[in-house]
Amino acid sequence: MRALLAISALTVLLVASAAHAQANAIPQLKQRHAERYMEQALQREFPFYRYSTESTVKCSDRHSRIRVGCKTIYFFAGDVDFKGYGKIWYSLSDSRRRILWNYAFRIKETDYYCLNTGGSNCVKTHVVT
């Protein structure tokens, strides 16, 4: 009877520790990593981002362990500036073996040369979800 109780207790502990390991399989997303990932996302969507004369990415709005909001995204290239916000988060791959990083943002592009010369469609919004 004691052996059966010991086996039952061990089984409960193994199941509980497996569930705990599953919950902690994704590490906490740190602010500096979120900022780096957002810069990589901007380079993917705007290839000229790396050549911008000025840029700022601040990600400090923690939504959860694995999701961080970026309230300040700004970069300037020529006569055009880009301002917006976004978020970065971790997820597991379909096979649940790899940790993936994901992004979403909304950035407003303003072409000041277009505005100053009386052009139209000088402001565009880029949305990635």
The residue to which tokens 């303003």 are assigned: 110
Q: How far is 46 from 48, CA to CA, in rounded Å? A: 5
Query: What is the predicted pLDDT for the residue at 2?
Result: 56
Q: How far is 50 from 26, CA to CA, in rounded Å? A: 29
Q: What is the pLDDT of residues 68-105, one digit of tens each?
A: 999 999 999 999 999 999 999 999 999 999 999 999 99
Q: First vs last Cα of the chain: how many Å apart?
A: 57
pLDDT band of 10, cuts 50, 70, 90: very low
What residues contact residue 39 under an 8 Å CB cut-off, 6+ apart?
Answer: 49, 55, 57
Query: What is the predicted pLDDT for the residue at 22?
Result: 53
Please say whether the beta carbons of 108 and 125 come within 8 A.
yes
Write the secondary structure of 21-57 as one string of H (helix), E (strand) and C (coil).
HHHCCCCCCCHHHHHHHHHHHHHHHCHHHHHCCEEEE
Over residues 2-31, the mean pLDDT reads 56
Closest of 107, 37, 113, 109 to residue 68, by C-alpha: 37
Is the pLDDT score of 32 beyond 70? yes
Sign of CA dihedral 4, 5, 11, 14: negative
Query: What is the predicted pLDDT for the residue at 92?
Result: 95
How does the average pLDDT of the chain come out, rounded? Answer: 87
Beta bridge pairs of residue 110: 81, 123
